[in-house]
């Protein structure tokens, strides 16, 4: 019997995805550049071996799959994907489908669609979230391509995807780069979520002088309420864990330098290109950049001293309550920004992105999965087109309750010298967004003064100039 599908790239994600596919009853042919890895993978597959055809060449892979063949590429993003596509073109035939399931830049995906145009091959750009565990037992799957090509692989994708109360977390989101774009913004939001959690951890550690296990207990408690989410859950777990070598809390032994692979940066670049404000995501990416300057930060601490010396004032229970709500308010602003970026891209690229569906397929399987996304899906379903998540009635209520806490936490952190870049950006975004009369009248006056840019008046249509003609 021939395989139903093929997969190239048996790294962390590919090997787990292959086992997931096999376990769901779909025979799969697999290939990896380094052949020994294919052997190791196959040996370790246990009972699932009968569902797996290990291949040492791409020709063998093509031969092992029943046409028309779907082939998933799950290799390092970038050039390796182009190489694999080129190699597959040699062995596949008309009607076959190439699915790039890595974290591609959606602009590369759009290019690959056009390069494959007229080749007879179909292309799908598919975002997969959930890390190793998700790939193995059910990821969230974001598909971009023609709806027809999605239909051809829908059964397998639905079978392997995470389920939220029985509903599959896999969906077709739009043509071309839609799936990879949505995955990129998912990761941008993930950066913001993680950064804001880390900032709250910083306040608990340096402002309230709490130990990792105590902080872990706070997050575990919060996980029972409105912040309930995978990221809060794992935060509680890692804060409680001890280092096997020293017996100390492991977080205290980990160097404070965060890595990144590009999706956060792409989110920010695309937001700026589309003219959408995504300050919490920008702050999160920037914070990782600053985190990498360990030596400079140590030198600066010597020169200036560091924050956290003044303790957070007030009753501890009240501060903890404020911290919980501050994190929630920051989260609302970050998601509002992420969805605003997707809304702008949807219009720009003609994707017609289904916002409620996106929120729904993120409720399980992916890294940002949370109770909150259910509320968000409801809001989009109830309100139809929304200018901004902040204007959904349910979110107006939640934000009214939560923003005073965000304000108090950001203010106290600023006084104590504790950095809260993402939380304070979220607050500034909210305050700017809700300010009916802003301060850009002055910017316009300055621009007109030095560059004769002209400005609009509040009391008359058309372009006007100030009384400083020729002054600039
Ligand atoms: P790994 O580093 O574990 O594996 C990389 C795979 O790519 C290996 O199979 C490797 O083959 C192959 N590869 C690298 N370069 C080439 C090349 N030039 N030609 C052919 N094959 C090549 O990566 P991951 O599994 O973590 O990631 C794969 C993709 O999934 C990436 O796009 C990643 O961003 C994305 N992703 C990762 C997630 C994660 O949590 N890890 C989550 C969601 C998406 P070889 O064995 O020969 O080196």
* Domains located in the chain, CATH noted: 5-176 (3.40.50.720), 184-433 (1.10.1040.10), 439-472 (1.20.5.320)
38 has pLDDT over 80: yes
Q: Rounded to the nearest whole angstrom, what is the distance from the C-alpha of residue 102 to the centroid of ligand 1?
A: 8
Tokens describing residue 341: 């970026």
Numbered residues of the known binding site: 9-14, 32-34, 75-77, 103, 129-131, 186-187, 191, 261, 288, 447, 453
Closest Cα partner for 56 from 83, 34, 86, 80? 34
In what order do the strands lie in the sheet containing 97-100?
52-55, 28-31, 5-8, 70-73, 97-100, 122-129, 140-144, 170-174
- For the segment 244-286, what is each residue's pLDDT rounded down to a tens digit? 999 999 999 999 999 999 999 999 999 999 999 999 999 999 9
pLDDT in tens, 357-390: 999 999 999 999 999 999 999 999 998 778 899 9
CB neighbour list of residue 281: distance below 8 Å, 6 or more residues apart: 188, 189, 191, 192, 264, 267, 268, 271, 334, 337, 338
Tell me the CA distances in angstroms from 190 to 6, 42, 120, 430, 455, one per residue in order: 30, 33, 37, 19, 39
Asked if residue 424 has a cis previous peptide bond (ω within 30° of 0), the answer is no
pLDDT tops 70 at residue 137: yes
Compute the distance from residue 9 Cα to the ligand 1 centre, in Å: 6
d(CA 56, CA 193): 41
Compute how many other C-beta atoms are within 10 angstroms of the C-beta atom of residue 374.
Answer: 16
> How far apart, in whole angstroms, are the C-alpha atoms of residue 242 and residue 247?
6
pLDDT for residue 385: 79
Pocket test for ligand 1, best of 31, 38, 75, 102 (most atoms within 8 A of CB): 75
Segment 171-189 shows an average pLDDT of 98
* Ligand 1 probe mutation, 16, 20, 76, most atoms within 8 A of CB: 76
Distance 76 CA to ligand 1 centre (A): 4
Q: How far is the CA of 140 from the centre of ligand 1 (A)?
A: 18
Residue ranges of alpha helices (H) inside 294-354 are: 294-304, 316-349
Q: Report the alpha-carbon distance of residue 435 to residue 341 in Å, rounded.
A: 21
Q: Which two tokens stand for residue 410?
A: 């950001």
Handedness of CA 440, 445, 451, 452 (dihedral sign): positive
Instruction: Identify the bridge partners of residue 455 per DSSP, sorted by sequence position.
Output: 464
Between the CA of 263 and the centroid of ligand 1 the distance, in Å, is 15
Q: What is the mean pLDDT of the chain?
A: 96
Classify strands 97-100 and 70-73 as parallel, antiparallel or unpaired.
Answer: parallel
Burial of 190 (0-12, 13-18, 19+ CB in 10 A): buried
Ligand 1 nearest-atom number relative to CA 261: 34
Instruction: Please answer whether residues 89 and 62 qualify as being in contact, where contact means their C-beta atoms are separated by less than 8 angstroms.
Output: no
Q: Binding site membership for substrate: which residues?
A: 103, 129-131, 186-187, 191, 261, 288, 447, 453
Return the ligand 1 atom nearest residue 129 CA: 43
Residues within 6 Å of ligand 1 by CB: 9-14, 32-34, 37, 74-77, 80, 83-84, 102-103, 128-129, 131
Query: Residue 181 and residue 347: Cα distance in Å, rounded?
Result: 13
Nearest to 400 by CA among 337, 323, 332: 332
Phi-psi region of 78 (alpha: psi -120 to 50; beta: other; left: phi over 0): left
Across 335-356, average pLDDT: 97
User: CA–CA distance from 457 to each of 251, 384, 442, 446 (Å)?
Assistant: 55, 33, 12, 14
Q: Where is the binding site for NADP(+), in residues?
A: 9-14, 32-34, 75-77, 103
Beta-carbon contacts of residue 51 (< 8 Å; ≥ 6 apart): 22, 23, 25, 26, 27, 28
- pLDDT at 149 (0 to 100): 96
449 has a pLDDT exceeding 80: yes
Residue nearest to atom 7 of ligand 1 (CA): 75
The pLDDT assigned to 384 comes to 78
ipTM of this predicted structure: 0.98
Decide if 61 contacts 50 (C-beta within 8 A).
Answer: no
H helices within 104-177, ranges in order? 106-116, 131-137, 147-160
Catalytic machinery residues: 183, 190
């Amino acid at each position: 019997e021939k395989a139903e599908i093929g997969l190239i790239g048996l790294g962390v994600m590919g090997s787990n995805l292959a086992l997931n596919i096999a376990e769901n009853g779909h025979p799969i042919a697999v290939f990896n550049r380094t052949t020994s890895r294919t052997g190791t993978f196959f040996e370790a597959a246990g009972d699932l071996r009968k569902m797996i055809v290990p291949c040492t060449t791409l020709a063998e892979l093509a031969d092992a799959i029943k046409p028309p063949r779907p082939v998933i590429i799950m290799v390092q993003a970038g050039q390796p994907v182009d190489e694999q596509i080129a190699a597959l073109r040699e062995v596949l035939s008309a009607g076959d489908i190439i699915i790039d399931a890595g974290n591609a830049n959606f602009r590369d995906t759009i290019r690959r669609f056009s390069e494959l145009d007229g080749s007879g091959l179909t292309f799908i750009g598919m975002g997969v979230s959930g890390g190793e565990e998700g790939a193995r037992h059910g990821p969230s799957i974001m598909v971009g391509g023609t709806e027809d090509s999605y239909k051809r692989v829908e059964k397998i994708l639905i079978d392997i995807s995470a389920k939220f109360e029985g509903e599959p977390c896999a969906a077709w989101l739009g043509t071309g780069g839609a799936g990879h774009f949505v995955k990129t913004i998912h990761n941008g939001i993930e950066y913001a979520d993680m950064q804001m959690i880390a900032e709250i951890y910083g306040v608990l550690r340096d402002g309230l002088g709490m130990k990792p296990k105590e902080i872990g207990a706070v997050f575990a408690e919060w996980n029972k309420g409105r912040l309930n989410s995978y990221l809060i859950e794992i935060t509680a777990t890692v804060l409680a864990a001890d280092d096997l070598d020293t017996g100390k809390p492991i977080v205290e032994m980990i160097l404070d330098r965060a890595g990144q692979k590009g999706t956060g940066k792409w989110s920010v670049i695309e937001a700026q290109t589309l003219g959408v404000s995504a300050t919490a995501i920008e702050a999160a990416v920037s914070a990782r950049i600053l985190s990498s300057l360990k030596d400079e930060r140590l030198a600066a601490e010597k020169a200036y001293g560091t924050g956290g010396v003044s303790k957070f004032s007030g009753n501890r229970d009240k501060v903890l309550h404020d911290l919980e709500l501050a994190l929630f308010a920051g989260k609302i602003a970050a998601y509002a920004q992420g969805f605003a970026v997707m809304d702008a891209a949807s219009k720009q690229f003609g994707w017609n992105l289904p916002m409620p569906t996106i929120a729904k397929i993120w409720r399980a399987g992916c890294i940002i999965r949370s109770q909150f996304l259910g509320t968000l899906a409801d809001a989009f379903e109830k309100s139809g087109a929304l200018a901004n998540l902040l204007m959904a009635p349910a979110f107006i209520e939640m934000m009214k309750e939560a923003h005073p806490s965000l304000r108090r936490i950001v203010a106290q952190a600023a006084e104590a010298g504790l950095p809260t870049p993402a939380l304070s950006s979220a607050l500034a975004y909210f305050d700017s967004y809700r300010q009916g009369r802003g301060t850009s009248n002055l910017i316009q006056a300055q621009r007109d003064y030095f560059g004769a840019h002209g400005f609009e008046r509040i009391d008359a249509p058309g372009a006007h100039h100030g009384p400083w003609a020729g002054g600039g």
